[in-house]
């Protein structure tokens, strides 16, 4: 990259790397012990203990879920509701790497940085825990990516070394050509995983030349030699695509590439998307059959959101379920701002798939917290996200008559936008018609599977009872995805009698 373009790149990217560290808070809800015809009686409201880990990557160990993220922050939970903060920021004395500035001196020096970005931890065959750490200059893609190891998941981790760098302006890159940030990756945001055949891979990248994947040596934790930067999967020309995470679903036989588009701060329009492939190296396609390798900005552009907006099934963006007139409850509503940088975990014991991510909130500026939502495959093999955070709910048979009623309705669309999509109201009628803010039809296609046809588009998903924090009780919700990769949510409304 020429120095003039590099300075432009630096100024445009600066805001992307400003992260707010939120103070963990504890919050509880109260509920009235009332029984309505569309809700199941349960005793007591769920309580939550919050924690803040930006870019949470999940791993299960010793009966606990752990998340590791940016700034050497980490937290753990046994129930996915109550989190315990382990660490919060990079400093000598952080329990994960107590002498971090000495231990990771090479990475800090190369990246002109005093902090770390999105970490990922995996347990390899030797039983030890390998932390893939990365440092980045922040206003340019000069980054170093390495690995450290520990016998205990909570550390201390000892550095094994840096194995990948980016941002070597005017110098030869790992693939043997002169480094060019339009086509070469920013070496951050790693996720290391085993495929269904037992091979180890690392997917990584943020903005710049896009998202890449490397085959790894499962014995050493380092990349196999001779791959350069690896195989390009998506992105390029500084398009705002980052936070890759690949999860194999044994029920569908697909590898799902989860990505976050947009900018991470409260005005950046962060939103989560997904594509799938039959092999870890792709090609990944979205719900409309678009090849994700084509998702990139136009040549010579920076942050060209218009070029990438059509790609990937958009699972969640900014939204707000507002409390409707007469609705039971006391809060004004609930929603998220710039949710993203997610990880995915299949809990074999529970038989459930969970989505872990950080999010900001309407009216709370840059404060962010961890959230966990259950995720379910729809009838077409695409993951749909339950609208509310997980509180222990499970899929169960839903009767048609219980589905009938008024709903708060969110259409997440395909835009990359800082606008918050507020709920409108719709009604699912007894005659299977759908009326209100949008019109169409609805039909249950299984015990809990549902198909909604709205304004010419078909959405497939599920109906699930969830804890609604607005009404402070358990209500029916639906989540569905269209053939165009657009997600919709509904939350049933219970009004005062």
* Active site members: 55, 242
* Residue that the structure tokens 């269904």 belong to: 196
Quote the CA–CA distance of 58 and 52 in Å, as a whole number: 14
Q: Would you call 294 helix, strand, or coil by DSSP?
A: helix
Determine how many CB atoms are found less than 10 A away from the CB of residue 95.
13
Going by the DSSP 8-state scheme, the letter that residue 323 receives in this structure is P
DSSP string, 11-28: HHHGGGG----PPP-EEE
Residue with tokens 């989540």: 479
105: helix, coil or strand?
helix
418: left (phi over 0), alpha (psi -120 to 50) or beta: alpha
Asked whether 99 and 92 are in contact (CB, 8 A), the reply is: yes
Count of C-beta atoms within a 10 Å radius of residue 120: 26
Beta bridge pairs of residue 75 = 67, 85
Whether residue 169 is preceded by a cis peptide bond, meaning omega within 30 degrees of 0, is: no
13: left (phi over 0), alpha (psi -120 to 50) or beta: alpha
CA angle 20, 23, 29 (to 5 degrees): 120
Asked whether the beta carbons of 207 and 241 are under 8 A apart, the reply is yes
**Residues forming beta bridges with residue 230, ordered by sequence position:** none
**Token pair belonging to 332:** 């004004």
- Residue 470's nearest CA partner among 282, 327, 268, 269 is 327
What stretches of 137-178 adopt beta strand conformation (E)?
Answer: 143-150, 158-166
- How far apart CA 155 and CA 145 sit, in angstroms, is 19
Q: Which two tokens stand for residue 387?
A: 């609208």
Q: Is 288 left (phi over 0), alpha (psi -120 to 50) or beta?
A: alpha
Q: Are 171 and 179 in contact (CB under 8 A)?
A: yes
Cα–Cα distance measured from residue 475 to residue 491, given in angstroms and rounded to the nearest whole number: 7
């Amino acid at each position: 990259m020429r120095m003039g373009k590099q300075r432009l790149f630096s100024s445009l990217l600066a805001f992307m790397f400003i992260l707010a560290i939120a103070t963990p808070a504890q919050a509880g809800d109260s509920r009235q012990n009332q029984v309505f015809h569309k809700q199941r009686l349960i005793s007591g409201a769920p309580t939550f203990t919050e924690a803040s880990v930006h870019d949470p990557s999940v791993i299960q160990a010793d009966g606990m879920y752990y998340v590791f993220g940016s700034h050497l922050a980490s937290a753990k939970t046994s129930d996915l509701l109550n989190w315990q903060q382990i660490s919060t920021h990079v400093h000598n004395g952080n329990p994960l790497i107590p002498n971090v500035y000495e231990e990771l001196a090479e990475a800090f020096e190369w990246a002109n940085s005093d902090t770390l970005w999105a970490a990922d931890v995996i347990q390899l065959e030797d039983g030890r825990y390998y932390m893939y750490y990365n440092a980045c200059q922040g206003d340019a893609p000069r980054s170093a990516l390495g690995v450290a190891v520990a016998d205990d998941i909570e550390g201390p981790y000892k550095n094994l070394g840096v194995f990948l760098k980016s941002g070597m302006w005017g110098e030869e890159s790992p693939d043997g050509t002169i480094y060019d940030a339009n086509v070469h990756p920013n070496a951050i945001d790693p996720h290391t995983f085993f495929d269904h055949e037992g091979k180890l891979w690392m997917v990584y990248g943020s903005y710049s030349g896009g998202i890449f994947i490397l085959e790894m040596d499962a014995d050493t934790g380092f990349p196999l030699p001779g791959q350069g930067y690896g195989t390009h999967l998506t992105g390029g020309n500084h398009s705002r695509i980052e936070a890759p995470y690949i999860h194999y679903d044994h029920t569908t036989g697909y590898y799902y590439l989860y990505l976050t588009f947009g900018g991470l701060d409260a005005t950046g329009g962060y939103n989560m998307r997904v594509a799938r492939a039959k092999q870890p190296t792709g090609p990944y396609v979205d719900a409309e059959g678009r090849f994700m390798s084509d998702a990139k900005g136009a040549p010579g552009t920076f942050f060209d959101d218009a070029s990438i907006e059509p790609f990937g099934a958009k699972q969640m963006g900014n939204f707000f379920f507002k409390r409707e007139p007469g609705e039971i409850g006391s809060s004004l509503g609930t929603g998220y701002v710039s949710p993203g940088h997610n990880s995915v975990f299949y809990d074999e014991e529970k038989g459930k798939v969970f989505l872990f991510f950080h999010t900001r909130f309407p009216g709370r500026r840059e404060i962010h917290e961890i959230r966990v939502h259950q995720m379910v495959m729809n009838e077409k093999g695409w993951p749909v996200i339950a609208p509310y955070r997980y509180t222990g709910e499970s899929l169960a048979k839903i009767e048609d008559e219980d589905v009938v009623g008024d709903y708060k309705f969110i259409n997440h669309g395909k835009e990359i936008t800082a606008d918050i999509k507020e709920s409108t109201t719709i009604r699912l009628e007894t005659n299977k018609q759908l009326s209100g803010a949008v019109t169409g039809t609805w039909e249950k296609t299984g015990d809990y599977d549902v198909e909604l046809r709205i304004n010419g588009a078909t959405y497939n998903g599920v109906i699930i009872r969830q804890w609604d924090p607005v009404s402070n009780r358990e209500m029916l919700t639906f989540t569905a995805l269209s053939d165009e990769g657009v997600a919709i949510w509904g939350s049933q409304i219970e009004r005062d009698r």
